[in-house]
């Protein structure tokens, strides 16, 4: 789900190349600024970051990336301040299907016991070890397929690949699964 949100944040920005740079190199900035990180790893991160800057062909994008690198504060989430958060990104740019799936999975992840009804055959059985859930297995597979399909739709739309009818066909098949 977060990968999909990351892609949406990149492709829906006025400058996708800049946002892609931020996405790819945000971890390097975190390493460089982490006082507890080994110096050899910081040095390697700086070299990689400099190479990433050199790979930016557009001068305006490169200057924006330099300002980002030199900024006083690097947020936990790479997409800030351009985007507010994962749920906002999905609400702003995701389609109806993605919004529905995000809501369902968010409930499962954050609503504790209530959310376990989605993927556990017996939500009252709370165990730390992995367990078989043959009745809800199909629901998990369908959710996984929908996530992959939504991620592919972002690429289709951004690159204008022309697979809209294939998306619709796959979505119909997923929704028809009992």
pLDDT in tens, 120-163: 888 888 888 888 888 888 888 888 888 899 899 999 999 999 99
Over residues 158-169, the mean pLDDT reads 94
Residue 88 domain-assigned (yes or no): no
Structural domain boundaries, residue 21:
2-70
Of the candidates 109, 91, 81, the residue with the CA atom closest to the CA atom of residue 4: 91
Q: Has residue 85 been placed in a domain? A: no
Looking at residue 22, its pLDDT comes to 97
Q: Domain count of the chain? A: 2
Report residue 135 CA to chain centroid gap. Answer: 28
Q: Is 83 contained in some domain?
A: no
8 and 41, same domain (yes or no): yes
Cα 22 to Cα 85: distance, rounded to the nearest angstrom: 15
Q: What is the pLDDT of residues 75-94, one digit of tens each?
A: 899 999 999 999 999 999 99
For the segment 31-57, the average pLDDT, to the nearest whole number, is 95
Structural domain includes residue 99: yes
Q: Tell me the C-alpha distance between 50 and 66, whole Å.
A: 10
């Amino acid at each position: 789900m977060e990968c999909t949100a990351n892609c949406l944040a990149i492709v829906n920005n006025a400058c996708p190349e800049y946002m892609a740079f931020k996405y790819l190199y945000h971890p390097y900035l975190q390493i460089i600024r982490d006082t507890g990180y080994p110096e050899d790893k910081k040095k390697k991160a700086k070299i990689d970051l400099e190479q990433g800057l050199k790979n930016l062909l557009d001068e305006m994008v490169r200057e924006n990336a330099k300002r980002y690198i030199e900024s006083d504060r690097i947020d936990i989430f790479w997409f800030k301040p351009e985007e507010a958060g994962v749920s906002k990104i999905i609400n702003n740019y995701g389609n109806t299907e993605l919004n529905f799936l995000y809501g369902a999975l968010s409930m499962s992840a954050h609503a504790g016991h209530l959310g376990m009804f989605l993927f556990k055959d017996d939500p009252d059985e709370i165990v730390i070890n992995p367990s078989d859930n043959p009745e809800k297995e199909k629901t998990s597979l369908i959710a996984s397929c929908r996530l992959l399909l939504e991620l592919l739709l972002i690429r289709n739309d951004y690159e204008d690949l022309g697979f809209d009818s294939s998306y619709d066909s796959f979505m119909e098949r997923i929704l028809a699964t009992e």
